Amino acid sequence: MPVLDLWSMAFVFLLATFVGFQVIQNVSRLLHTPLMSLTNAISAIAVVGSIIIAGEEKTTFSTILGTVAVAASMTNIVSGFLITDRMLKMFRQRRPPS
């Protein structure tokens, strides 16, 4: 891990929040339900943190917590992406677009 840099993380947070608001506001209302499940899946990126804790095996305690955390995140990743795609598959345009 790079050396702690509080301020660059604050910058990332600030900018990501701006991106988030702009991007989300442009999401078509039609797709607000899929949006919920997609952001779910994406924020399960938390898995990367848990993986290291589960894998570095520093203490039994941390390994257990890490493993459970990985499982929890993995659940969100799998179900989140699958259900989003399942919903999106259903959206189609009128054949002869009027």
Partner 1 sequence: MSPAEHLTQASYLAAAALFILSLRWLSDPKTARRGVSAGVAGMAAAIVGTLLHPDIVNYTWIIVAFVVGTAIGVPLSRVPLTAVPQRTALSHAFGGLAAGLVGTAKYSLWLQSGELTTFRMAAIGIEVILGYVTFTGSLMAAGKLMEIVPTRPMTYRGQNVVNLGLLAIAAGAAVLLLFRPGSWQLFPAIIVLSLLFGVLLIMPIGGADMPTVISLLNAYAGLSAVAMGFVLENKVLITAGALDGSSGLILSIIMCRAMNRSFTNVLFGAFGQVQASAAGGEARTVKSGTARDAADLLENASKVVIVPGYGMAVAQAQHRVKEIYDQLTKRGIDVKFAIHPVAGRMPGHMNVLLAEADLPYDALIEMDEINRDLPQTDVVLVVGANDVVNPAARHDAKSPIYGMPIIDADRAKFVIANKRSMNPGFAGIDNELYYADNTLMIFGDAKAVLGDVVKVLAGDATP
Rule CB under 8 A: say whether 60 interacts with partner 1.
Answer: no
Site for a copy of itself in 32-71 (CB under 8 A): none
Distances (CA, A) of 34 to 29, 39, 76: 10, 9, 14
The binder of 60, among a copy of itself, partner 1, none, by C-beta within 5 to 8 A per type, is: none
Distance CA(93)–CA(96), nearest Å, equals 8
Rule CB under 8 A: say whether 90 interacts with a copy of itself.
Answer: no
Is the separation of the CB atoms in 90 and 30 below 8 Å?
Answer: no
The minimum distance between CB 60 and partner 1, in angstroms, equals: 11
Instruction: Catalog residues that contact a copy of itself under the rule CB under 8 A.
Output: 2-3, 5, 7-9, 11-12, 15-16, 18-19, 22-23
